[in-house]
Structure 1
């Protein structure tokens, strides 16, 4: 299943937990849900969906790979920092499924992290029962 995420800024953290949860079939007793972002300048993580932490994620990524830091790739499309940030974040997460629901911890959410927006992005979700 694929759904779209609209981002509003160059860096943006969007909680997609509910949208991912909607894709999990209710008849899956035990399984795994993989969330995949097919983009080289965006990522997905599991972390707490708290406004100050989302801002901290954005600031931390900026410190890790500052924009305009004389990257060779910037000669092509001026977004090397976004590629580097996305590489650190990763393009997928896997979450256990129990009784048709994501088996996340109390404070865990699935967060889509935009590094080169604003854009319309795709998120792919696959659930396998075992």
Structure 2
């Protein structure tokens, strides 16, 4: 079993999403692992990872759904703790989650045709986002 570690950084606008599939696939290729898994972890309590069809309509739908789940216009206890106004950002990131595991088959991410790896910045400010990756398996 072989292990390969990497780190990716992304400068993101406030309340934005980014398709990071190509960058992750490049790291899988660099690892030399043909059969295995890649585990991804988004560092930060206001960002998250998932898979989805990365198209404008669905991207809007996701953020609209997050507005219904954790509305912008309500008071969060977090605001009273830190006075930073981003309680909704923490709730949204917690709902989606910080990690993702994708199988690797024949050296490629084993994703569906319309499935991309997506990084979300739910914070109300632009942020530098870091994704830690571990590729493990057999060459």
Q: Which residue of 1 aligns with 2:131?
A: 123
Question: CA separation in 1, counterparts of 2:79 and 2:64?
Answer: 20
2:17 to 13, 16, 21: 13
Matched, 1:108 2:115: yes
Q: Which residue of 2 aligns with 1:90?
A: 97
Shift of 1:19: 0.7
Structural RMSD (CA):
1.2
* TM-score normalized by the length of structure 1: 0.94
Shift of 1:68: 3.6
- Per-residue displacement from partner, 1:70-90 (whole Å, max 9, x unpaired)? 111112121110000000010
Largest Rg, 1 or 2: 2
Matched, 1:74 2:82: no
Shift of 1:98: 0.9
Q: Which residue of 2 aligns with 1:30?
A: 35
Q: Which runs of 5+ in 1 are unaligned?
A: none
Aligned length, in residue pairs: 129
Shift of 1:35: 1.1
Question: CA separation in 2, counterparts of 1:28 and 1:72?
Answer: 45
Matched, 1:40 2:64: no
| Richer in strand (by share) | 2
Q: Which runs of 5+ in 2 are unaligned?
A: 1-5
